[in-house]
């Protein structure tokens, strides 16, 4: 039994015109590399998928991508990314997964999951590129509320946190998100979103008791990163 995380699968099985292969060698053959990358995972394991999972514009358009993710080993918990246009209410997403028999896909949103005694918390998070977008303050505050709701749901359990957006970045810190991670004693915070040339801006390692790890698919070589046994 092990816990893994990977973000940004950016699948386009139902929307081939959006395939990431156009981005060159870094994304060449990425669906096969993902399938191969999941080979150390088995069905007793848990994998957190840190957002930007499918280019589908709605649940129906993302169906083939969900079928692929569901076919991979392990129970998967899904965090929202900024490109997950198919995202819907938890009730609708869960109903869609149930109707299609995607039994290994679960939504991590305003809630937390448990891996043994350890709580898995998460939300999409916030990125500076959204500052100045319409109603950004309102959206930002809602993200903070979601993150805190997820951390509170964990109670006294040891907490790991999974975000899509990096809470920090070379030259950028999202003070409010980091403050929540530190206040709730989060041990490890995994995040995605950074691709290609942006990898060099990633901040990894321990800061104030939180261990930050970038797990975007092209950064981890399309192999889910083991977070704990």
Name the H helices within the chain.
Answer: 30-37, 63-71, 90-99, 136-153, 175-183
Among 3, 38, 50, 52, the residue binding Fe ion under the rule CB under 5 A is: 52
**Contact of 35 with 3, CB cutoff 8 Å:** no
Nearer to Fe ion by C-beta: 81 or 224?
81
Of residues 109 through 148, those in contact with Fe ion by CB under 5 A are none
User: If binding is defined by CB under 5 A, does position 80 make contact with Fe ion?
Assistant: no
Are the C-beta atoms of residues 126 and 143 closer than 8 Å to each other?
yes
Of 6-14, 27-35, 84-92, 138-146, the window that binds Fe ion (rule: CB under 5 A) is 6-14
**Cα 73 to the center of its chain, rounded Å:** 17
Q: Which residue has the tokens 């918390």?
A: 121
DSSP code string of 113-168: EEETTEEEEEE----GGGTTSTTHHHHHHHHHHHHHHHHHHTTTS-EEEEESS-SE
Q: Is 8 in the site for Fe ion (CB under 5 A)?
A: yes
Q: Which of 15, 21, 67, 82 binds Fe ion (CB under 5 A)?
A: 82
Closest to Fe ion by CB, 6 vs 119, is 6
Our finding on whether 65 is near Fe ion (CB under 5 A) is: no
| Closer to Fe ion by Cβ: residue 56 or 159 | 56
CB of 95 to Fe ion, least distance (A): 26
Which residues contact Fe ion by CB under 5 A? 8, 52, 81-82, 193
């Amino acid at each position: 039994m092990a816990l893994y995380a990977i973000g940004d699968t950016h699948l386009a099985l139902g929307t081939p015109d959006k395939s990431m292969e156009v981005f060159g060698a870094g994304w060449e053959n990425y669906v096969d590399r993902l399938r191969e990358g999941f080979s150390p995972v088995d069905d007793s394991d848990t994998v957190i998928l840190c957002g930007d999972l499918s280019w589908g514009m709605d649940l129906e358009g993302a169906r083939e991508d969900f079928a692929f993710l569901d076919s991979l080993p392990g129970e998967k918990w899904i965090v929202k990314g900024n490109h997950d246009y198919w995202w819907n209410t938890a009730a609708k997403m869960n109903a869609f997964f149930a109707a299609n028999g995607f039994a290994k896909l679960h939504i991590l949103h305003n809630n937390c999951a448990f891996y043994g005694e350890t709580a898995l918390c998460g939300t999409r998070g916030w990125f500076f590129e959204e500052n100045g977008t319409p109603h950004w303050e309102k959206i930002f505050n809602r993200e903070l509320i979601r993150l805190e709701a997820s951390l509170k749901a964990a109670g006294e359990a040891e907490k790991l946190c999974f975000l899509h957006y990096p809470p920090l970045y070379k030259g950028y810190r999202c003070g409010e998100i980091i403050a929540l991670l530190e206040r709730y004693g989060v041990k490890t915070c995994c995040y995605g979103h950074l691709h290609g040339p942006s990898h060099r801006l990633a901040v990894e390692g321990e800061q104030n008791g939180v261990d930050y790890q970038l797990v975007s698919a092209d950064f981890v070589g399309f192999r889910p990163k083991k977070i704990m046994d």
